[in-house]
Structure 1
Amino acid sequence: MELNGRTAIGFEEGRSSSAKWFDDLTRVRFAGPVSAHHRLLPRELSPETLAVHAGTYEDPVTGCVGTPVFQTSTFLLDDASYSAFADGAMRDVPIYTRYGNPSQWAVQEKLAALEGSRSAIVTSSGMSATASTIFALTNAGSHIISAYDVYGGTYNLLREDMPSTGREVSFVDPNDLAAVRAAVRPETQLLFFETLTNPLLKAPPIGALAEIAREANALLVVDNTFLTPVNMRPIAHGADIVVHSATKYLAGHSDLTAGAVVGRRKFLDRIWAQTLRFGGTLEPLSCFLLERGMKTLALRVERQNANATEIARFLATHDRVAAVHHPEVGGPHYADLARDDYRGFGGVVSFEVRGGDDAALAFMGRLKIPYVATSLGGVESLVSMPSNTSHSSLTSGQRASIGIRPGLVRFSVGIENVRDLIDDLNDALNGE
């Protein structure tokens, strides 16, 4: 339908006079938000195709093949805007960029399509996405279950901020299903885990965790940053919500900070409202950069999967390496791994250099190709030590309890030639 020449999008039935709010709720949550000009594609298409085309804003005036940057803070008010305010549908009509913007909608539709879900929001950082999700889906007096070795920022949020807001948190080993089930309480509202843990790359059984969540009448939120929807779609395995630090693989070029949340519309509307209150909106130019970066996501991840696998196998044979943490080289964490659930395991390899932290620091200083820097998922290789970066807020005892031992290095493998990377690693390990 059109109002003053503008296409009304989403919640059309909710605007009709027949909606009965208390006796017979008829308002329908539509997917999106999207406009009539955003490209909608079947979720069954391959990630290679969806990454390029899903969500693109096909401009009716210029016919440009890329989404324009809607670099504006506000939009003209008209009947569609006023109806959106009246019906609680501000998310679906361009009113104010903090509420929604066609640049945001384009990249959100791409994300939703890739994860095989209905709706998505983008935020100003991965931690903004995580915090908004947890606060929106829990309340004071509730209980949350998570892992000891989630990302350090997530761990600090759960450990430091949740108790002060009346939410209790239990930390468990995500691969110990008996421990997860034993942690459930009547007030448990949320389980929060990662598809691959940071930095030890444990691979929790998402389907089994989803079953525990359903039995507890709780929600399962999964951080899919390390794998991306190219390697796994957690929602297909029963997860309710997926979050990303889009700074990493989704953007892919180490030039953007962003976050994302994907799931059913009824959950995403709540998280969207929480994001508004926290002020974590992603501005239009960053949305453009994220959408552009995601067009090559499948190609980049395919190369990083292959590079990381070859590097992990090389490191597992080197006498200066005490241990390698990666699914492709096996180990106790992967004994029950259902490999059919994965297309690959991403570009991170964690390994322990013999001689402890001093030896690891010296090794990193001898590398010639990778940058010694925090973060991951970019086209360039990055190397860092969790003990003095992402997990530096943990005590040595806490790090030891989750398996972060002295000399642990996290290598985020880029898209460079893998033989060049292996030769560089070999020289640096040998002290050359």
Structure 2
Amino acid sequence: MTSRSVGRTPCVRAPKIRQSPDEHTPSETPGDTVTQPNRTAIGFDEGSNGAAHWFGELTRRRSAGPISAQHKVLPRSLSPETLAVHAGTYEDPITGSVGTPIFQTSTFLLDDASYGAFSDGALRDVPIYTRYGNPSQWSVQEKIAALEGAESALVTSSGMSAIANTIYALTNSGSHIISAYDVYGGTYNLLREDMPSAGREVTFVDPTDIEAIRSAVRPETQVLFFEALTNPLLKAPAIRQIAGIAAAANALLVVDNTFLTPVLMQPLALGADVVIHSATKYLAGHSDLTAGAAAGRRKFLDRIWAQTLRFGGTLEPLSCFLLERGIKTLPLRIEKQNDNAREIAKFLASHERVAEVYHPALGGDRYADLEHADYRGYGGMVSFEVNGGDAAALAFMRNLTVPYVATSLGGVESLVSMPSNTSHSSLTTRQMSLIGINPGLVRFSAGIENARDLIGDLRHALDALDEEGVR
């Protein structure tokens, strides 16, 4: 039996990597180590002649992961609640720690497995240098991959880092990208301002207009980039149909799943190739870190990882620990936030000081073509327009006492802001109008507070506008 006393037990270095590209159940005994050079242990399957093949050869099959023998790998068929708690946990063979330790180090001892990784192009699969990979990163990456039903995942220093790394990695100069007018403001700016100078042309469309998306495809189209629910108007693109368009065009579909999370939608199961998250939001869930994530097939994630190395957007170990800890309660938080947002949307739709409410649960012509079977819920976001424009919306937010008036979203606390002066402030008035961001638009991120308390506070803040003479 393995001793769990803390003493001069030999440290575990160069953990063995799981060999099968499709295997999602543990096969090694915790504590197994690589004592001799073992190319299979760093992410390679052997060829017919027993020799490992170079990274770029077609005969090479990529393993899932990266992951070590100490990281808990569970079948993707388990429930989100179970995967959120257990997937990816580093089961420390020395201390028996129940929680994943923080590997707060920038570098690791070199050995034969490290040198083999350098020579064979498998730096992602062996702990060498934290910018390349770190067991803290591997833990949270495996948890995200498990929840999204993916072979591999990558965490980065911010959501925008994940988006930029992915777009640059999956396109090249002379290529074409299709996206939506109403994506997150930072994404829109990246696509509109940076992609042309990098030799990529971008076409923006209405994400709910399937024929417009189909018509935008060109021979040089490489990536279609859409959000599972758009920010801030909560439009619901038909991801399954868009995936069919991408496949027919031999292009890749990248879906930003920040608003829904894998608890409410798994875009990969609908045909997407890569899923992106601003993990700062719902995945982390406590407004205490910034992080990004990407998940998908290993061959795509290897390219995104290589781009991340060049851009330098690595997520440091302490933030990995916080992110993994936050995800453990993701399904519970999402259920409460989903319920709160639905009740808030219903209330707002009935209030005379509210001109328009944007939320899929309300139905209507805006969501007539919604593929409800692809959703397990619609998340914790509600957007609405206050009668009286921006001045009235600002007065309304000043009257609130429970939610915080702050940018961002997805935390346990409710947050409220106006996209026109926060997330989309870089857009011109014309651009905002084109998207549909009208005067008085407010974005409400429902937390896990009591719904009655939130609705009571919203009612008070709206009713006070009449008392203050705000029109």
Is TM more than 0.5 here? yes
Residue 199 of structure 1 aligns to a residue in which SS?
Answer: coil
* Residues 42 and 117 in structure 2, CA contact (< 8 A), matched pair in contact too: no
**Residue aligning to 1:163:** 196
**Residue aligning to 1:241:** 274
**Residue aligning to 1:333:** 366
Please give the per-residue CA displacement for 1:256-299, whole angstroms capped at 9, x wherever unaligned: 00000000000000000000000000000000000000000000
CA distance in 1, matches of 2:94, 2:36: 14
When residues 104 and 22 of structure 1 are mapped into structure 2, their CA distance, relative to the original with a 3 A threshold, is closer
CA distance in 1, matches of 2:215, 2:302: 31
CA distance in 1, matches of 2:342, 2:53: 56
CA distance in 1, matches of 2:356, 2:55: 60
What amino acid is aligned across from residue 138 of structure 1 in structure 2? T
1:353-368 matched pairs, under 5 angstroms: 353-368=386-401
* Residues 251 and 290 in structure 1, CA contact (< 8 A), matched pair in contact too: yes
1:264-283 matched pairs, under 5 angstroms: 264-283=297-316
When residues 421 and 264 of structure 1 are mapped into structure 2, their CA distance, relative to the original with a 3 A threshold, is same
CA distance in 1, matches of 2:381, 2:42: 40
* Residues 234 and 359 in structure 2, CA contact (< 8 A), matched pair in contact too: yes
Is 1:385 the counterpart of 2:418 in the alignment? Answer: yes
The root-mean-square deviation of aligned C-alpha atoms, in Å, is 1.6
When residues 24 and 398 of structure 1 are mapped into structure 2, their CA distance, relative to the original with a 3 A threshold, is closer
1:394 CA displacement: 1.1
Please give the per-residue CA displacement for 1:128-178, whole angstroms capped at 9, x wherever unaligned: 000000000000000000000000000000000000010000000010011
**Residue aligning to 1:220:** 253
Please give the per-residue CA displacement for 1:312-332, whole angstroms capped at 9, x wherever unaligned: 000000000000000011232
CA distance in 1, matches of 2:199, 2:46: 35
CA distance in 1, matches of 2:101, 2:366: 45
1:52-131 matched pairs, under 5 angstroms: 52-131=85-164
1:162-311 matched pairs, under 5 angstroms: 162-311=195-344
CA distance in 1, matches of 2:268, 2:336: 24
1:22 CA displacement: 11
State the number of aligned residues.
432
What amino acid is aligned across from residue 220 of structure 1 in structure 2? L
Unaligned runs of 5+ in 2: 1-15, 17-32
1:11 to 43, 65, 74: 43
What amino acid is aligned across from residue 251 of structure 1 in structure 2? A
Taking structure 1 as the reference length, the TM-score comes to 0.97
What amino acid is aligned across from residue 229 of structure 1 in structure 2? P
Higher mean C-alpha displacement, 84-93 vs 21-30: 21-30
What amino acid is aligned across from residue 35 of structure 2 in structure 1? N
* Residues 251 and 293 in structure 1, CA contact (< 8 A), matched pair in contact too: yes
Taking structure 2 as the reference length, the TM-score comes to 0.89
Identity of aligned residues (%): 75
CA distance in 2, matches of 1:278, 1:22: 21
CA distance in 1, matches of 2:407, 2:158: 15
What amino acid is aligned across from residue 68 of structure 1 in structure 2? P
Please give the per-residue CA displacement for 1:360-415, whole angstroms capped at 9, x wherever unaligned: 00000000000000000000000000011111111111111111110000000000
**Residue aligning to 2:171:** 138
Residue 45 of structure 2 aligns to a residue in which SS?
Answer: helix
Unaligned runs of 5+ in 1: none
CA distance in 2, matches of 1:27, 1:306: 47
When residues 380 and 322 of structure 1 are mapped into structure 2, their CA distance, relative to the original with a 3 A threshold, is same
When residues 305 and 22 of structure 1 are mapped into structure 2, their CA distance, relative to the original with a 3 A threshold, is closer
Residue 169 of structure 1 aligns to a residue in which SS?
Answer: strand
Residue 249 of structure 1 aligns to a residue in which SS?
Answer: coil
* Residues 147 and 172 in structure 1, CA contact (< 8 A), matched pair in contact too: yes
Higher mean C-alpha displacement, 17-26 vs 65-74: 17-26
* Residues 234 and 360 in structure 2, CA contact (< 8 A), matched pair in contact too: yes
CA distance in 1, matches of 2:367, 2:160: 28
CA distance in 2, matches of 1:269, 1:22: 11
Residue 13 of structure 1 aligns to a residue in which SS?
Answer: coil
1:24 CA displacement: 7.5
